[in-house]
């Protein structure tokens, strides 16, 4: 049996094609030694088919959405927005 997996950009909702240059983001905990500092890291990486199925990954369709994800993270500590539709 073959599983057909499709991916959608978590920022804009675009569907992934074969030749697209996509990125992935994962948020992870980090030790924080200063009070008031966020204990979360933002890790951006090039698309990797094996890692893309990890449910913790955010899928980004290109540079523009990667920049928007970084901006959201820097502003709110999250990648998802309450104002945007939830594609996940």
Structural domain boundaries in the chain:
1-88
Tens of each residue's pLDDT in the chain, 88 residues: 556 678 999 999 999 988 779 999 999 988 877 777 777 899 999 999 899 999 999 999 999 999 999 999 999 889 986 655 555 5
* pTM of the entire predicted model: 0.80
- ∠ Cα 37 9 3 (to 5°): 120
Q: In what order do the strands lie in the sheet with 40-46?
A: 40-46, 23-29, 58-60
* pLDDT number for residue 1: 58
Instruction: Determine phi and psi for 50, rounding to 5 degrees.
Output: -70, -40
Please, is 72 exposed, middle or buried when counting C-beta atoms within 10 Å of its C-beta (0-12, 13-18, 19+)? middle
């Amino acid at each position: 049996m073959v599983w057909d997996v499709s991916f959608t950009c978590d920022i804009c909702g675009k569907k992934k094609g074969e030749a697209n240059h996509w990125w992935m983001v994962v948020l992870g905990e980090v030790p924080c030694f200063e009070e008031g500092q966020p204990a979360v890291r933002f890790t951006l990486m090039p698309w990797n088919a094996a890692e893309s199925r990890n449910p913790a990954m955010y899928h980004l369709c290109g540079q523009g959405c990667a920049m928007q994800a970084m901006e959201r993270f820097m502003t709110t500590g999250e990648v998802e927005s309450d104002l945007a539709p939830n594609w996940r």
